Structure 1
Amino acid sequence: MDFLSSLLDANAAFALNGRDTTNHCPMALHALHEMGATPAQLQHFFAHWQSTHSLPAGTENQGDEEERRFVQLRQQLAIRFAEEGWLPTFEALLSQRLSPAGGAFHPLIRFACALENGHQGEQAAALAAWQCKPLILPAGTGAPCRDVTRLLARLSAQWEGSSWQGEWITARLRQVAADPRWPDSLPRSLEEGTEVLLQLAEAALPLYWQTRNFTLLHLVTGSRAAAIVARHLPAELQEPWQTLMWQAAAAAYITVGAPALGSQRWPDVSGLDWEKVLPLAIASLDDHVIKLVHCCWREQARSPRHGAHYLAVAARAVGLLNTDAGRSAA
């Protein structure tokens, strides 16, 4: 853990806008560490990222208001967290209705990693990045909905096949938020007592398996991150946090055309196991592969009923399954 911590400390030298280096790199380092990467493997990934993706903080971002704000916020939050912890700041951001989808879910996932590894500087950096990539989704005005499955079905009926411009996930999310149809199509609430975060995770995985959509990959890893954050929140913040998350998931789902979830044809994974998958993920220099495999590996232990499905997604990500194996059944 000391070596991981030193690399997370070193990440502070990277610019926020260096192709999202300050969000991607620490998340991948955390995932690699948990999956059993050696210090040499962690250093190899860090060096690769530094040479191929990063921008040094302050050199190529002079005059960038967002970059200056990020650095200032990170420093201010680090001092504040040392005195009072992260929860008061997080509660204030919830009251502002900052969406967990802001920054394409990256600040959320980074924050969840920081909660797991206990790195206070990373906690401050993640919440600073969240504020620098703010997204506020208008609240729904439609009729209440019973659960996540029905929510997605309702959205699919209204938005399936919709197309949104822009290369970046966040840009498409902003278009959904600005669409005048959005408030009426989103329910005011989900039924009380609904296990929202568990349902989101269980819906995100087959949607990603069916579509292989990059945005939905982030919904898989983001759903797990949201559950990690929820485990650290007091009872009075659970409902506001879950509401922001299912609204974020709804918006992300619409940005990819709200595809109807078909019945899945999951492959036989009896010849596969995590001992084969994890070393390939650790050897990968693709941060999205690393994070996805780590998420699936951790979630299969929490959701044995879907363990084979998580293994299939992870095995496909590292190339152990045929790339066409996950198409929907007719």
Structure 2
Amino acid sequence: MITVQGIDHLVLRVRDLAASLHFYVDLLGCSVERRQDEIGLVQLRAGAQLIDLVTLDGRIGRAGGAGPGREGRNMDHLCLRVDTLDEPRLRRWLERQGVTVDSYGSRYGADGEGPSLYLFDPDGNELELKGPPWPQGLHEALDEAQGYDTYYPSGSLRLFNHLPMVLGALGRLGAPLQAYRLQLEHWRRLGVPASPLPDPLPTLEEALPRLLLSAEQDAFHAAIRLAYALQSGHAAEQRAALAAWLAKAPEAHEEAAPRTLDGALSLRDTLAQVRADDRLPLEARSGTLIVTRLQAAQALPGFNDYADRPRLSLDDLAEASLAIYLATHDFTALHLVTGTHALRVLIEAAQARELDLDLPRILRNFWRALLAAYIALRRPEPAWGLVHVGRADEADWQRALPGLFESLNDHRIKLADAAREEWRHRGWPGYALCLEPLGAAQ
């Protein structure tokens, strides 16, 4: 009996060996494992498999007759599994190298459904680069989630539908199918039927630079949803998330004077001044929406004095957000952590597409929202010391997963996911403290 364990190697007949080596080695990252120049053979390592290149005039290549062409191709296509596939960034890089890049989509392969990009090698052979599969069950769950509107009623309020976001978080955390079902059944009791999406809808490339100027929209939820949608690879959810943000985003306008990131003080020192400013007291208002509390803080005398005061970077905003959350474990502060994560994801997505961003305004506007949240929280002492002290590793999140998968607290799940992604990106051990079931994360 025969038991197939996998493909061992593939042999390609090539016209120009140097051009093919440049493509497969320099661009795609294969390595030369073995050469037999006397027969015109170079063997390349491609993960666990080999790609053999044979020249048309070599002993092996001559046996195949004419070289590959439009009317006589070596094969239909070769699929290479890659560790990640950031399509916009990869497409632009390949095109700058002179590679012909074709269509992108979600396609099925040996590991399941996942992102896929077609391109052509120097001999016109079609290749498919196949990224990691989408999390099992995520796309099916997001299909079902498309049936619900952006908002749902809660008494006299209209609240943002968190279902697509928590599904995205569960997907990244590697949740089992029953965790998706738990959330879907919960939101089935809350949701209302979806309204039709606007048609036509601007593309992501057209809309994202303007949308990022209002990342605080709907208490950061619009940005968080779009960030999860982009990472999910689910086309319908990406359109729905884009439409949800566009429906509420303010129109872009020119500012009287361009803002910069070069304020007079560090963000830490600015928050210390805010703590000491007697013009900025705000009474605790339980049961009030985050958006309402932020608006009340922004209306206080003296608020605008701090709008341009600190020097800003995305790291500064992330550090302050985490320090404020660790000091309070408050619901509003939790959104600062998930919001700064979404902001990073979306800025990176825009940069990968080479979009023209007004980064100073984006960060200044986010700072204004963070400042308002800080005042709404009654200006606590940020827990700066907890951000960088201690240690964290993947095992911290692995231990928390069973409880997260059984939880109906979607904010707790999104916080744990965002904290892990930011810890992986920044290495700050304080993100592991977001796993503690305290306050808003109970």
CA distance in 1, matches of 2:383, 2:315: 20
Residue of structure 2 equivalent to 1:163: 283
Matched, 1:203 2:313: no
Q: CA deviation at 1:220?
A: 0.8
* 1:64-79 to 2 correspondences below 5 Å: 71=195, 74-76=197-199, 79=200
AA aligned opposite 1:151: T
Residue of structure 1 equivalent to 2:437: 316
Which of 339, 342, 346 is the aligned partner of 1:225? 342
Which of 146, 149, 156 is the aligned partner of 1:12? 146
CA distance in 1, matches of 2:385, 2:256: 30
Which of 372, 389, 408 is the aligned partner of 1:251? 372
Q: CA deviation at 1:216?
A: 0.3
Conserved in 1, the CA contact under 8 Å of 2:307 and 2:364?
no
Which of 128, 136, 148 is the aligned partner of 2:267? 148
C-alpha distance 135-247 of structure 1, shift in aligned 2 (>3 A): farther
- Structure whose alpha-carbon radius of gyration is higher: 2
Residue of structure 2 equivalent to 1:239: 360
CA distance in 1, matches of 2:435, 2:171: 17
* 1:44-193 to 2 correspondences below 5 Å: 44-51=182-189, 53-57=190-194, 71=195, 74-76=197-199, 79-81=200-202, 85-93=203-211, 97=213, 99-134=214-249, 144-158=263-277, 161-163=281-283, 165=285, 167-183=288-304, 185-188=305-308, 190-191=310-311
Q: How many residues align?
A: 292
Higher relative contact order (CA 8 A, sep 6+): 1
CA distance in 1, matches of 2:239, 2:407: 28
CA distance in 2, matches of 1:275, 1:93: 34
Conserved in 1, the CA contact under 8 Å of 2:152 and 2:192?
yes
C-alpha distance 212-258 of structure 1, shift in aligned 2 (>3 A): same
Q: CA deviation at 1:4?
A: 1.6
CA distance in 1, matches of 2:284, 2:215: 20
CA distance in 2, matches of 1:187, 1:319: 28
Q: Indicate the structure with greater helix content.
A: 1
Where structure 2 has 5 or more consecutive residues not aligned to the other structure, the ranges are: 1-133
Residue of structure 1 equivalent to 2:63: none
AA aligned opposite 1:163: E
Residue of structure 1 equivalent to 2:60: none
CA distance in 1, matches of 2:276, 2:440: 34
AA aligned opposite 1:88: E
CA distance in 2, matches of 1:318, 1:246: 24
SS across alignment from 1:13 = coil
Q: CA deviation at 1:29?
A: 0.4
C-alpha distance 6-199 of structure 1, shift in aligned 2 (>3 A): same
The normalised TM-score by structure 1 is 0.75
The normalised TM-score by structure 2 is 0.58
C-alpha distance 149-319 of structure 1, shift in aligned 2 (>3 A): closer
AA aligned opposite 2:228: C
Conserved in 2, the CA contact under 8 Å of 1:107 and 1:126?
yes
Aligned CA-pair RMSD: 3.5
CA distance in 2, matches of 1:32, 1:140: 43
Conserved in 2, the CA contact under 8 Å of 1:209 and 1:313?
yes
Which of 151, 172, 175 is the aligned partner of 1:34? 172
